Amino acid sequence: MITKFNISAPELRIMPYLVEKIDNLTKPKGSLGRLEELAIQVGTIQQTLTPSLSLPYHIVFGGDHGITAEGVSYSPAEVTPQMIFNFLAGGAGINFLARQHNINIKIVDAGINYDFNGLKNLIDLKVRMGTRNYMNEAAVTLQEMELCLQRGAQVVTDCHEEGCNVISFGEMGIGNTSTSSMWMHLLAGIELEKCVGAGSGFDSEGVKRKLALLQKAKNNYNGDGSIEDVLCYFGGYEMLMTVGAMLKAAELKMVILIDGFIMTNCALAAIKLYPQVAHYFIYGHQGDEYGHKYLLDYLQAKPLLYFGMRLGEGTGAVCAYPLVDSAVRMINEMATFAHAKVTKYFA
| Residues annotated catalytic, as ranges | 313
Cβ-contact 280, 230 below 8 angstroms: no
Return the H-helix or E-strand segment holding 106.
Answer: strand 104-111
CB contact set of 36 (below 8 Å; sequence gap of 6+):
22, 30, 327, 330
CA–CA gap between residue 304 and residue 236 (Å, rounded): 27
Sheet arrangement for strand 104-111 = 122-124, 104-111, 57-63, 166-172, 255-258, 281-283
CA–CA gap between residue 151 and residue 135 (Å, rounded): 26
Q: What separation in angstroms does the CA of 84 have from each of 109, 172, 174, 215?
A: 9, 8, 12, 31
Cβ-contact 308, 260 below 8 angstroms: no
Q: For 148-171, b where at least 16 C-beta lie within 10 A, e where not — what string?
A: bbebbbbbbeebbeeebbbbbbbb
CB contact set of 208 (below 8 Å; sequence gap of 6+):
none
* Cβ count within 10 A of residue 229: 17
Tell me which residue of 330, 343, 248, 338 sits closest to 52, measured CA to CA. 330
CA–CA gap between residue 105 and residue 164 (Å, rounded): 12
CA–CA gap between residue 214 and residue 299 (Å, rounded): 23
Q: What separation in angstroms does the CA of 30 have from each of 27, 37, 301, 320, 346?
A: 8, 9, 20, 20, 11
